[in-house]
Chain A
Amino acid sequence: MGKLRIGHLVEAGLWLSLCLFLFVYSFEFDRDIEIYKFGATAWPRTIILLMALAAIGQLAHHWIKGDETSSDLISAAVDDGSEEAAHEAHHEGLNWYLSTLALLAIPFIYMRVPDWIASLISAEATGLHVIRVICAAILTAIIVYYIRLHRVRVALVLPLFFAALLEDFGFYTLAPFFIVGVMFMFGERRAKWMVSIMALIYGLLLLLFVKILYVGLPVGNIRPFYDIGSWIVTVLQ
């Protein structure tokens, strides 16, 4: 096996699986274009082929040289400390990645599951909103539960969950909680400081973007969050 490790094989397997998936999916849009004989698939398939060759090249590189860095390269990505931090924190095992991916599913659960439930029970708009609120509450509770156990994983999930909730709950309602959450993730525990800084950041953002620049931010579409967002915009503008 030369200097190959299981991680190298998994990495190559992931790349080649991605290539296979993209290649198979390319038949979905394999249509002729009258004025262009290469059609819509030639360019993506060339990229897929090069990607597969690069993945195989990387596997060969790992086989011959292990994890050694190539020469003549600019090592910005290597030297930003992220790889080293991960290594020292033992965040490289397959289990760590799998459990992190499981936690990362939370925002996507919120984006899909309420609609499925609503269609199952034939709920109308108001019913769907209630399901979304309940779903958001349950998923928030799960995230809060994990905060103390897995801060790095929750740090990855929190912004994505915030983005997933944005459409329904609006920027104006969510932003204060998000600010406090991020400060907590970064180790801030002084309640007075958290509240004051939250008010400062929130106030500055509203002043700059809503009052001065008239940037429209999402107000949400579930009541009463929509009403709160709209009221803030009306007051400021």
Chain B
Amino acid sequence: MDAFNNFLTGSITLFSDPLGILIFFGGVIGGMLFGAIPGVSMLTLAAILLPFTAHLSAEHGIMLFSVIYCTGVYGGAITAILFNIPGAPENAPTAFDGYPMTLNGEAGKAVGAAVMCSAIGGVVSCIIMMAATAAIADWAISAFGPPEIFALVFFGLAVAASVGAKTFWKGWLSILVGLMVAVVGMDPVGGIERYDFEMPYLLAGIHFIPTILGFFAVSEIFVQAEKKVRGKFEAPKMGVEFPTLKELLAHKVAVIRSIVIGFFCGILPGIGATLAAFMGYNEAVRWSKTPEEFGKGKLEGVISSETANNAATGAAMIPLLALGLPGGALTAMMVGVFQMHDMEPGPLVFINSADLVWVVFAAMFYANLSIILVGYLETKTIINLLRIPFQFLAPMILLLATVGAYAVRGLTIDVVVMFLAGVIGFFLRRSGYSVAGIILGLILGKIGEQTFAQAMQMLHFEWSGFLDRWIALGLLIAGILTLCGSIYGAFFKKDKRPSIGAAG
């Protein structure tokens, strides 16, 4: 009941302040727009706005970022569905089925499902976050140390190896390439330079934003260029028909499963929405009676991924507010906003600034709700982008991606890296490798190595230490079993689908 009263107080505080209302709607629309513009993301908007938050109150600054976070995660789904360009890594699995749906003339249905499921995932996650922040934070933070997080990363990679590749081996090779790219730069314990090839740029590692833009946006342009040259290009069909309530209700199990997955992934520092979306999607495939339909435009794929990534947004606030641990790039920027106002996120925030916490919680709740209204209105407009001929859209996407890659660190070499990743992605896609796997490896590689090092130091370099930690042990065993099952499947199960180029 306390939580409900606090929520009401937070809501009243939010909507009784004209500036607060303005910032709220600015964040909602800005997050969605930046998430939806190909080549830029909510991170671009957040990075641009970060210096200006010094002029806002702490409540307004944190609220603005939390609203951008909720709506930006949804906004990235629009470009993933319409152009195969995920606005953020957490939208990558949405493209697996969303883009084929667009090609099949079901763009409206896919975007409509993303709108509805993002809102449902986000709202439910917010409600749980408000009701149980303290208890969940206590449990997760005490139960999940570095060994558990490393084990979760391992399990996540093991299940994700089957996403987007032609064979199990190509899936693993894709992930390992991503892990190897993540190694470039300083090692996380001793700061020793690795694979820098004496280039100062590589000392800081390869940034994931140019890499993502290259592998998804640029390689897609190249694939379309090849199809255009060969007369195989098919313009995406327009479709503004939203999914019916019956269609959405038919996927209620997928929604509930993805909420659970999204919430628990979101609560873990450093894991966040990306793994949530991949796991939500992968579990949908594993539980499906028709797994072969995934990747070809199945509504359940969009629903699972979008529910899971938005369910992670509310949960990601728990470690941030309870312990000051950011779960991703945007929550890390929120720590910056706190620090600009001479505050440190952590347990004391609940005591010293309870008003701030509940204004933020209320803002996130309403931001997720507003996805339905603003999302539908905005989507009707954005889908019209598909009417633009691709020869005019392609230079726009490439230049937006150029600006997006350059804006991260102000380095032209990031633009080179992005286009190089595009070329590599083009060759890998035509060879049946998974660009999504590379991205997942790149993002989880750094977390994986860091938590592994911390875990081994914590366990005094004794492998047997994992036996005493049942969550870590369970996740490791589950990961190994998944791997063994996949290896068995790769050699001994026969595929029902036709192979491409077997005769060549």
Spell out A's residues near B (CB within 8 Å): 5, 11, 15, 22, 25-26, 29, 31, 33-40, 43-44, 47-48, 50-51, 54-55, 57-58, 60-61, 64-89, 91-92, 97, 104, 107, 111, 151-152, 155-156, 159-160, 162-164, 166-167, 171, 175, 178-179, 182-183, 185-188, 197-198, 201, 205, 209, 213-218
Contact = CB atoms under 8 A, between A and B. Distances in A.
> Number of contact residues on B: which range applies?
35 or more
Given A54-B173, A57-B169, A152-B229, A73 B406 contact: no
8 tightest CB-CB pairs across the interface, nearest first?
A: A186-B391, A33-B190, A58-B169, A182-B395, A155-B225, A76-B295, A71-B493, A40-B192
B207 interface: no
Given A58-B169, A69-B495, A159 B419 contact: yes
Interface stretch (B139-147, B250-258, B261-269, B452-460): B452-460
Contact of B403 (A84, A163, A205): A205
A108 B36 CA distance: 33
B412 A38 contact: no
Contacts, number: 290
Nearest to B219: A82
B399 A36 contact: no
B193, B422, B504: which has the most chain A beta carbons within 10 Å?
B504
Interface string B298-313: 0000000000000000
Interface stretch (B1-9, B105-113, B432-440): B432-440
B499 A44 contact: no
A72 B162 contact: yes
Interface of B: 48, 84, 95-97, 99-100, 162-173, 176-177, 179-180, 183, 187, 189-190, 192-195, 218, 222-230, 232, 281-282, 285, 291-292, 294-296, 390-392, 394-396, 398-400, 402-403, 406-407, 410, 412, 415-416, 418-420, 422-423, 426-427, 429-436, 449, 452-453, 456-457, 461, 486-487, 489-491, 493-497, 499-502, 504
Contacts of A31: 190, 192
A198 B95 CA distance: 29
Contacts of B192: 29, 31, 33, 40
Contacts of B394: 182-183, 185-186
B190 A58 contact: no
A82 to B, nearest CB: 4
B489 A36 contact: no
Contacts of B190: 31, 33-36, 39-40
A80 B226 contact: no
Contact of B295 (A68, A70, A78): A78
B223 A80 contact: yes
Given A31-B192, A35-B457, A164-B416, A73 B176 contact: no
A38 B228 CA distance: 51
Contacts of A104: 423
Contacts of B398: 159, 178, 182
Given A77-B435, A182-B395, A58 B415 contact: no
